[in-house]
Structure 1
Amino acid sequence: METILLTFAAGGTAGAMNALAGGGSFVSLPALIAAGVPPVQANTSSTVALFPGGLASAWAYRDGLGPIGSVPLRALLVATLCGGLLGALLLLRTSSAAFSVVLPWLLLAASLALAFGRRIGAALRARWRIHGHAVLAIQFALGIYGGYFGGAVGIMMLAIWGLLDQRELQQLNAPRTLLVSAANLVAVLAFIVADAVHWPVTLAMLAGALLGGYGGAHLGRRAPPAIVRRITLLATFCITLVFFVKTYAPALLQR
């Protein structure tokens, strides 16, 4: 019962974070590992638990769907689905020991994307433009990342799309949400078919994430965005630091 309550509370926090500023997997994944779920299965279970909330957001944004610059949304969707499936299959072939070593670096990449992704995107837009075919290739790579881990992948998509599309970033939220959900969809299906999901804790986290996402959406209308962003970044970098210390400190102390 304590484990169920822990994962439910973590799901609520993760759902609220995703609704407010992103980074929900920084809470859901460590909570599942703390509950005794092996790292790879914790990642698969976290993806499944947070997926319905992302799908609901994609449905809410459906009226804003459209092409990205000269690239049809359908082509981006196909690239994301193919990449997401490949990423999910790669994760399923990764041992828990190997994933534990890679995980701190994945968390660091996601933390940096959350912190600096928009600034980097703006700097790139001011200097470069890229061809639609290059965007499709990068979208495929982001799909792989999304299926394998996925932290802050939506921010990464916006940074790349800005090199092709001159619209405001807020106007790209609809395709961003859809394509992040697409990468997660094929990953979720692969994880379920492979029986790689710990269902009791996943269902508890899923229920919490739905409630947290609903409450977070309402809170987001009132909370100052700058404060929400600072709290989110502080939490993500602290969790990343904990995983680096946990993974690499024992080896350094033995030298």
Structure 2
Amino acid sequence: MVPDVQDLILLGAGALGGAMNAMAGGGSFVTLPALIGAGVPSVAANASSTIALYPGGLASAWVYRGGLGRIAGVSMRPVLAATLAGGLVGALLLLWTPGLLFDRVLPWLLLVATLALAFGRRVGPALRARFQAGVATLLIVQFLLGIYGGYFGGAVGLMMMAAWNLIDGADVKALNPARTLLVSAANTIAVLCFAISGIVHWRAALLVAVGAAAGGYLGAVVGKRLPAALVQLATVLFAASMTVTFFLRAYR
């Protein structure tokens, strides 16, 4: 059977979203509008988008698997545990959010994600010059980011790297393996909650997931070669346009 135009759009959105997540983050800026455009209600679209991008995140984590290490001197286990706990809280909050309320909240979440994409890499050094943070701060921040990741997750990987850079000033590129693993960890809990709840539109989610798996792997490979500044600029411009669109959709 020949796929229709909507199926091709969902496949393409998945591929682009998976590649964006692998290179700079912000893949949900593509997949969420595509799912809403396909007629999926916003809360269900957000849950379906999380599930659809999950395989792409795992593919990216596989590419980066050799570079995992400690974060700010802390072993991965407590950081992973904090992320998983936060992801559970965030996923449950999403399931308890009425659709009309989420439509109002969504543009603000997109705005936060856009600001993180635009300025996240600069926040860490600026704050580190003024504040001292320790292990407890890292785990608390990671828990809160896990909540955001389970609830929405746009640009959560960049938020994580900004927080880690604030604590110990680690090289941003060296943080990519941990970023992909922990974003996938928060999504793992969310995926389980969404699947059990029955909110997921599986056909649409699977179409996006097929594209995201390929896009996530290729994006991680290509991301090692493209200039970081170019990737970030393109991502921020696209994210800003989607944010404006959703503000108009919610408040006009």
TM-score when normalising by structure 2: 0.93
Query: Match for residue 57 of structure 2?
Result: 54
Residue number among 147, 153, 170 corresponding to 1:144 in the alignment: 147
Residue number among 90, 93, 106 corresponding to 2:93 in the alignment: 90
CA deviations on 1:45-94 (whole Å, 9 max, x unpaired) are: 00001011111222222222222224321111111101101100110111
Query: Unpaired runs of 5+ in structure 1?
Result: 250-255
Indicate conservation of the 8 Å contact 2:16/2:30, yes or no.
yes
CA deviations on 1:164-217 (whole Å, 9 max, x unpaired) are: 224212222222211111000000011111111111111111111122233434
State, as a whole percentage, how many aligned pairs show the same letter.
58
**Range 119-128 or range 84-93, more displaced:** 119-128
Query: Match for residue 197 of structure 2?
Result: 194
- Given the superposition, is the C-alpha separation of residues 214 and 175 from structure 1 closer, same or farther in structure 2, using an over 3 Å criterion? closer
Indicate conservation of the 8 Å contact 2:52/2:208, yes or no.
yes
Aligned AA for 2:10? Answer: T
2:228 corresponds to 1:229? no
State how far apart, in whole Å, the 2-side matches of 1:133 and 1:218 are.
Answer: 34
2:81 corresponds to 1:78? yes
Query: Match for residue 248 of structure 2?
Result: 245
Query: Unpaired runs of 5+ in structure 2?
Result: none
Residue number among 105, 109, 112 corresponding to 2:112 in the alignment: 109
Q: How does 1:152-171 map to 2 (within 5 A)?
A: 152-171=155-174
- Given the superposition, is the C-alpha separation of residues 162 and 227 from structure 1 closer, same or farther in structure 2, using an over 3 Å criterion? closer
Residue number among 17, 40, 48 corresponding to 2:20 in the alignment: 17
Query: Match for residue 213 of structure 1?
Result: 216
- Given the superposition, is the C-alpha separation of residues 131 and 228 from structure 1 closer, same or farther in structure 2, using an over 3 Å criterion? closer
State how far apart, in whole Å, the 1-side matches of 2:243 and 2:45 are.
Answer: 16
RMSD over aligned Cα atoms:
1.5
- Given the superposition, is the C-alpha separation of residues 219 and 164 from structure 1 closer, same or farther in structure 2, using an over 3 Å criterion? closer
State how far apart, in whole Å, the 2-side matches of 1:58 and 1:164 are.
Answer: 23
